[in-house]
Structure 1
Amino acid sequence: MPSVSRRYATGQNRFERPSGRANNELAAPVVLMVSGGADSTALLVLAVTSTLDIDDGRGRSRIARERLHVLHVNHELRGIDAEEDEEFVSDLARRYGIPCTIRRVDIAARAASTDGNVENAGRIVRYAEAARLANELSASFGTPRSAARILTAHTADDRAETFFMNAIRGTGAAGLSSIPRRRNRIVRPLLDCAHNELCDLLRMRGIVWREDEGNANTRYLRAFVRHEVMPVVEHRNPHVVASLANTCDILSDEDAYLTSVAARTLRKLVRREGLGLVVIDAARLAATEVALARRMVRQALLGVCSELRLEARHVARVLELVAAGEGATTVPLGVEARVEHGLLVIRSRQALPAAVAAWLEVPGRLPLSDGRVLAARLHLVPPGDVCAYARSHALEWVGQSVLLDAAAVGIDPVQGGRLWVDVAHAGDVLCPLGMHGQSKKLSDLLGEAHVPVEERPLVPIVRTSPTGAVVWVAGIRADERAKCVPATSQLLELSLLPAP
C-alpha cells in the first residue's frame, strides 16, 4: 500500500471545476465527523491541509475551508473521558479555524429503549446528527442538501474488521462488501489508508490524539475482531487488509448490479405499500430465483424500517414462510413479516393506525385514523325497481358504497339519526347480503375476503348501536336485514371514501 506521505503531502491544489456543475454545489457544506481518535483527527488535519476525494466529480482536490464544519457527538458513556474528548475536538477545530458543533446524547438510554445494543444506538445517533447538521448548514449556505458531504474516517482496517464482523454475524454479499466508499451524502475518503499510516502521519506532524480505552474491551464484537481475529489472520497473510479491500470492491460492484435487478423485480410484485408497510405477491416471490428473492426480501424489510440490522437468518426465515405459504415472524426492532392469503405483508410497529370507535351522524362524515372517510347520507327512492337500483349502485362502487333501507337500521327519514362504528369483536355474527338470512361469523367473513389478521382492526364495522346488529362491514358486505326491499321508502347511502 502506498505511503500516506506520498498520498497526501503534496499540498497541490488540483481544483478543476467540472463543466456544467453549479457553483453553489461546489460551495456546499462538508461535515467532518470527528471523535478525537487517530483516524478522525487525521481526517480533520488532511481536510484542512491537503487534498481529499469527496466524490464530487473533482477527484483529489482541496476543500475550501469555509465549507468545512466539524461535528462531535458526546455519547455520555465514559464520564470525564468523554468530556475530555469533547474538549480535545473543540480545541483542535479551533486551532485550524474550523467551526465545531458538539451534540450530547444519552446513548445508554437510547439503547435501553430499543434493542439494548449500545454500539448500534451510537451509530444511528451519530449519522442522524450528521444528517441534521448537514441539512441545517445547507439551508444557511443556500445549497442543495444533496450537494452536502458527510465525511467519516473509516480506514482499510475498519473495512477488513467489518468484513469479519459481518461474516461472524451471518450476512450476504452486501454485508461482505463491508463499508462502501459512498452511501448517498456519506463519503469515506480514507478507506484506502491503513490506521498505522495515519498514526505515523500525525506523529510526523507532532499532533496527538485521544485513545478510547473501550476499544480494547473484547466484549464488543469490533474489539474482539481487532484484537483477537486480525492478528491471527495477518500472521498468515501480512497483506490481508489490502487483499480484503480488493475483495470488498469486487463484491460491492456485483452487489450493486444485483440490487438494481432485484429492485426492478420487486416493484412488479408489490401490491400495496405505505408508511411502514409493504404487501408483496408471495406466490410470484416464491417462484423467483433465490438469489434475487433474498435481495427483494431484504429491500422490502429495509424499506419498512431503514434502521434494521439484518442478518442472513432473518431473510432466510421470511423466505421459509413464503415457501410454506403461511406463518409469521418478527425481526429486530419489531418489524413483522406475515404470509397469508397469498400475500407477504411486512409492517413496522407504527404501520397500523389506531382502530376507530365513534358515532357516525346520519347525514354526516366520520374521518378514520388511516385518512379514509366514512360518509352517510339519505336519498329519496327513485322511480322504478329500488332493489335493482341498489344492486347496480353497489356494482358501480365495487362495494365501497352501498344503498340500504334507512328504516330497517333505525334511521328516521326526516330527522336522520346516528350509527355506531367500531371494529370486529370476538363472537360477532351477521347475515351477509346474498345468503338469504343465513348467519356467519364476522371473523369467517373477513377471512374469506382475504383480510390479514393484523389489518382487521382497520375494517370499519357499522352497527345500529355499540351493542347492536351489524349493518355494514365497510367495503366488504352489508347485512341481509338492512337491504332494500320493494317497500323501501328512504335510502341510506354508506360510503367508504379513500384518503384525499
Structure 2
Amino acid sequence: MLQKFKNHLLRNFQFLNGKKILLATSGGKDSMVMVHLFRQLDYKIGIAHCNFQLRGMESFEDQNFVHEYATAHEIPVFITQFDTKAFAEDYKLSTQVAARELRYNWFYELLETEKFDYILTAHHADDNLETFLINFSRGTGLEGLTGIAEQNEKVIRPLLAFSQDEMEEYAGLNSIQWREDSSNASDKYLRNKIRHHLVPMLKELNPHFLSSFNKTQTYLQEAQVMVEDASIMIYQQVAKQEEDTIYFDLIKLKKLPNYKSYLYQWLKEFEFSAWDDIYDLVESQSGKYVYSHEFRLLKDRDSLILSPINFVNEKEEYFIAEDQKEVKIPLNLSFCKVADINNVSNKAIFVDADKLQFPLVLRHWNEGDSFQPFGMNGKSKKVSKLFKDEKLSLIEKENLWLLSSDDEIVWIIGLRQDERFRIDDTTKNILKIQL
C-alpha cells in the first residue's frame, strides 16, 4: 500500500511536496495509518487532535494516546478540548454537526496561526460509500451522490482511493497501534447501521462492489461537471447581476425544458431549502417571496430577484442641519448654494432654499405618503402610485429614501422632485442637493 499511496500522491497531489501539512488525527485506525504513511514519505507534518468530551474518560485516553505518539516520534502536536454538547445545545445543532463545525473552525485557525498549508483527513473509500448511501436514503440531487470530495479548498482527503480492507491490512503488517472508538460499535447512528448491516450485504452480493461503486462515482462526478458547465452557460443568458442583486428573466427561464434544475443549481449556494415554494414563485403573483437565512428570492412581474435580506426600519430617520454641507449615512448627499441651474439630472435637484424648514429629514416612505410631482402644476400624487407607474420592485422601494421638510416631501431621492420647493421668479437663494 505504501508504494501505491506514494504513486497516488505523485499523480494527484504533487503540490503537497515541500508543503507544511496538518494531519487530523483522532487516534483511530484510519488516522494512525495516515500518519504512518506520511512519516515513511518524509513530509513536513503536524498532528491535530480534538477532544470532543463525548465519551468520558475514553476521550481523554484518546487525547493522551495521540500526544504520547506525537512526542515519541517528534511530531509537532496540537490538541484542543470542546464542550461539544453545550455548543450543540446553544446553536440548536446535532452533536455530529456541532463536532464538525468545532473541528474545522479550529483546523482553519491552526492553518493561520501555525502556518500550515493544508489540512488532511483520513476518509477512505468505505467512508465515501457510506456517505453516498446516507444521502441516497434521505433523498438528494446529483451533487449528494458524487460523494466526498478529494479536495475542498485547504482540506484534502488523500485516502479516498483506498478501501477499509487495505487500511486494516497495512495496519496489521506495520504493527500500527490505534484507539478503538466504542461508539463505532453502536447502531445508534445511521452511518453505523449502514456500516454494520447494509455494506456487508452489498459486498456479499458482489465481492467487487466497492470497485464498481468507485467507477459509478467517477461517472457521476463527470456528469456533475457537465451539469455545472451547462448551468453557467444558461445563467449567462438568463441572469443579470447589479451590485449584490441578481435578476432572473422569467420569460427566458420558462422557455427552458427543465428550468427547475437550473434554479436549483443557481440558488443552492444561497442555502435555500423550500424548493417547492421557490418553483411555485415562477407562476406566482408579483410580491411573493421565499427566504433563506440571509437571502430573499422575490417574484416581481417577469423577474425573480435575489438579494440579501434587508430588514428596513421604517422609523429610521436622519436629520440634516441648515449649515450642513454633506451627509454620508445612509447615502451620500451634498448641499451647496449656487448662482444658477446647471447639469439637471435625477441625481441632483435645485430648490428654493428659503422655502425649506430645517432640519431636513431623510427617511423611508410610508403608506399614505403623497407629494406634488415637479411639473404637474400642484396636483397631488400618492408615492405608492408613482412607484407603480415607475414599475419599481419591492426591493427598489425598500431602498428608496425621501428628503422632507416640515413633513412635506422635497425629493424622492433619485426619482422625482416636489413642485412646492421649485425655483421661481422670486427665488433669491438656490440650493443644489446632489446624490
| TM-score band, normalised by shorter chain | 0.7 to 0.9
5 Å-filtered alignment, 1:239-258, equals: 239-258=208-227
Q: 1:358 aligns with which of 312, 315, 318?
A: 318
Correspondence 1:209 to 2:148: no
| Mapped contact 2:145–2:220 kept (Cα < 8 A) | yes
Aligned-partner residue type, residue 237 of structure 1: N
* Number of residues of Structure 1 aligned to a counterpart in Structure 2: 431
Correspondence 1:92 to 2:39: no
TM norm structure 1 = 0.74
**Alignment-derived partner of residue 329 in structure 1:** 290
- Give 1:325 shift: 6.0
Change (3 A) 1:340 1:419: same
**Alignment-derived partner of residue 176 in structure 1:** 145
Q: 1:339 aligns with which of 274, 279, 299?
A: 299
Change (3 A) 1:170 1:338: farther
- Give 1:444 shift: 4.3
RMSD: 3.5
**Alignment-derived partner of residue 247 in structure 2:** 280
Query: Partners of 1:121 and 1:335 in 2: how far apart?
Result: 24
- Give 1:37 shift: 2.4
Q: 2:344 aligns with which of 393, 411, 427?
A: 393
- Give 1:250 shift: 1.3
Q: 1:73 aligns with which of 31, 43, 50?
A: 50
**Alignment-derived partner of residue 377 in structure 1:** 336
Change (3 A) 1:238 1:12: closer
- Give 1:249 shift: 1.3
**Alignment-derived partner of residue 405 in structure 1:** 352
**Alignment-derived partner of residue 128 in structure 2:** 159
| Mapped contact 2:253–2:259 kept (Cα < 8 A) | no
Change (3 A) 1:376 1:149: same
Query: Partners of 2:54 and 2:306 in 1: how far apart?
Result: 35
| Mapped contact 1:163–1:176 kept (Cα < 8 A) | yes
Change (3 A) 1:320 1:418: same
Query: Partners of 2:319 and 2:421 in 1: how far apart?
Result: 18
| Mapped contact 2:228–2:265 kept (Cα < 8 A) | no
Aligned-partner residue type, residue 180 of structure 1: A
- Give 1:379 shift: 2.0
Q: Deviations over 1:30-59 (max 9, x none)?
A: 12122222222221121112xxxxxxxxxx
- Percent identity, aligned pairs only, is 24
SS for the counterpart of 1:208 is coil
Aligned-partner residue type, residue 130 of structure 2: E
Change (3 A) 1:494 1:320: same
Change (3 A) 1:47 1:258: same
SS for the counterpart of 2:46 is strand
Query: Partners of 2:137 and 2:77 in 1: how far apart?
Result: 37
Q: Deviations over 1:381-439 (max 9, x none)?
A: x2xxx6xx5xx602xxxx222222323333xxxxxx43111222343333333444443
Query: Partners of 1:402 and 1:459 in 2: how far apart?
Result: 16
Q: 1:367 aligns with which of 328, 332, 335?
A: 328
Query: Partners of 2:412 and 2:259 in 1: how far apart?
Result: 39
| Mapped contact 2:334–2:434 kept (Cα < 8 A) | yes
**Alignment-derived partner of residue 262 in structure 1:** 231
- Give 1:5 shift: 6.5
Aligned-partner residue type, residue 80 of structure 1: M
Q: 1:319 aligns with which of 271, 279, 282?
A: 279
5 Å-filtered alignment, 1:65-144, equals: 65=43, 67-114=44-91, 116-138=93-115
Correspondence 1:294 to 2:261: yes
**Alignment-derived partner of residue 59 in structure 1:** none
Correspondence 1:186 to 2:149: no
SS for the counterpart of 1:471 is strand
Q: 1:45 aligns with which of 36, 46, 51?
A: 36
**Alignment-derived partner of residue 166 in structure 2:** 197
Q: Deviations over 1:258-304 (max 9, x none)?
A: 31332344355443355xx44222325624635576355434441x4
5 Å-filtered alignment, 1:428-443, equals: 428-443=369-384
Query: Partners of 2:83 and 2:384 in 1: how far apart?
Result: 46
Q: 2:19 aligns with which of 6, 28, 31?
A: 28
Aligned-partner residue type, residue 73 of structure 2: Y
- Give 1:243 shift: 1.8
- Give 1:114 shift: 4.5
Change (3 A) 1:70 1:262: same
Query: Partners of 2:139 and 2:129 in 1: how far apart?
Result: 15
- Give 1:319 shift: 3.2
Query: Partners of 2:245 and 2:102 in 1: how far apart?
Result: 26
Change (3 A) 1:439 1:254: same
| Mapped contact 2:312–2:398 kept (Cα < 8 A) | no
Change (3 A) 1:156 1:365: same
Query: Partners of 1:118 and 1:435 in 2: how far apart?
Result: 65
Change (3 A) 1:486 1:82: farther
| Mapped contact 2:320–2:360 kept (Cα < 8 A) | yes
Any unmatched runs of 5+ in structure 1? 50-61, 142-147, 411-416
- Give 1:190 shift: 0.7
SS for the counterpart of 1:462 is strand
Aligned-partner residue type, residue 279 of structure 1: I
**Alignment-derived partner of residue 194 in structure 2:** 225
**Alignment-derived partner of residue 405 in structure 2:** 464
| Mapped contact 1:270–1:278 kept (Cα < 8 A) | no
Query: Partners of 1:236 and 1:435 in 2: how far apart?
Result: 83
Query: Partners of 1:282 and 1:201 in 2: how far apart?
Result: 56
Q: Deviations over 1:160-216 (max 9, x none)?
A: 111122223332222111112223332211112122331332233333323334445
- Give 1:156 shift: 0.9
Query: Partners of 2:67 and 2:313 in 1: how far apart?
Result: 46
**Alignment-derived partner of residue 489 in structure 1:** 428
Aligned-partner residue type, residue 116 of structure 1: L
Query: Partners of 1:69 and 1:222 in 2: how far apart?
Result: 29
Query: Partners of 2:190 and 2:295 in 1: how far apart?
Result: 24
- Give 1:323 shift: 4.4
| Mapped contact 1:420–1:462 kept (Cα < 8 A) | yes
Change (3 A) 1:368 1:153: same
Change (3 A) 1:426 1:180: same
